[in-house]
């Protein structure tokens, strides 16, 4: 066991009898219940397992270094995607985003990747496959979710916010293109000190999916090279592409 993982074991003892008012309207509370080493192809990590008081879903944090008391910790909040993460589906960019986050954090002294059991933007695996069937008939991802009686995105980040707090990070640099994720975490008390664009190249199977993310869900993905507006906090970059050259005055 690495020294960092050994130190993080203290969190298990600290949380053994943890109870709190909880986060969000459902008063969600989590406890750290296990910590272990996690050597991966992307680097050496510690993995932290969480119990929560709402359901039996088992969320985990993959951590690089000891993030307790640290500021501006790079953090990716990744929602589970069996078809993408495990089966290599090209219908989405989930596996690419997960691997890019692990690779990036694995190169840093400190970082967090939360793996949230929120399959299909919170609608579950069965309903996600039903949504796929509707998409095969021409609906986009938003239309398919609405046709099944769901909102376009059913995810809630109260548990993620409590996980970040339990890990002791004072503030995070959130790796995301999703403005709702930033807003929700801040609403739940997480200090998001900045946003790091997290865009991967598209393929013919997921281009329409990514365009829907940008056009219907407001994700910060620029396919058309639109001018950079002054009110935008940062320029969207694509993984593996050179930095944008500033325009001449």
The catalytic residue among 64, 91, 155, 195 is: 155
Please, where are the H alpha helices in the chain?
Answer: 3-15, 94-106, 119-122, 125-136, 141-147, 158-167, 179-187, 207-217
Residue 244 CB coordination number (10 Å): 10
Cβ atoms of 32 and 67 within 8 Å: the answer is no
Give the count of alpha carbons within 13 A of 232, CB side only: 14
**CB proximity list for 219: less than 8 A, separation 6 or greater:** 177, 178, 179, 213
Query: CA-CA distance, 112 to 115, in Å (whole number)?
Result: 10
Does residue 177 sit in helix, strand or coil? coil
155 is catalytic: yes
Tell me which of 153, 156, 195, 222 is the catalytic residue: 153
Active site residues: 153, 155
């Amino acid at each position: 066991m690495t020294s960092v993982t050994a130190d993080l074991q203290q969190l298990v003892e600290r949380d053994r009898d943890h109870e709190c008012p909880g986060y969000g309207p459902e008063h969600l509370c989590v406890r750290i219940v296990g910590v272990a080493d996690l050597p991966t192809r992307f680097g050496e990590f510690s993995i932290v397992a969480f119990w929560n008081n709402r359901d039996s879903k088992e969320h985990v944090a993959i951590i690089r270094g000891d993030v307790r008391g640290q500021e501006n910790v790079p953090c990716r909040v990744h929602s589970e995607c069996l078809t993408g993460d495990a089966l290599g589906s090209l219908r989405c960019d989930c596996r690419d985003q997960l691997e890019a986050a692990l690779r990036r954090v694995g190169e840093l002294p400190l970082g967090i990747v939360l793996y949230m059991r929120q399959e299909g933007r919170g609608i579950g695996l069965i309903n996600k496959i039903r949504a796929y069937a509707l998409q095969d008939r021409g609906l986009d991802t938003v239309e398919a979710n609405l046709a099944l009686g769901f909102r376009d995105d059913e995810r809630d980040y109260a548990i993620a916010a409590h996980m970040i707090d339990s890990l002791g990070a004072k503030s995070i640099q959130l790796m995301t293109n999703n403005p709702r994720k930033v807003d929700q975490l801040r609403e739940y008390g997480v200090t998001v000190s900045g946003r790091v664009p997290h865009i991967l190249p598209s393929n013919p199977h997921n281009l329409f999916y990514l365009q829907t993310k940008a056009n219907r869900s407001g994700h910060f993905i620029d396919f058309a090279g639109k001018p950079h507006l002054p009110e935008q906090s940062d320029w969207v970059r694509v993984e593996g592409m050179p930095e944008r050259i500033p325009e001449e005055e």
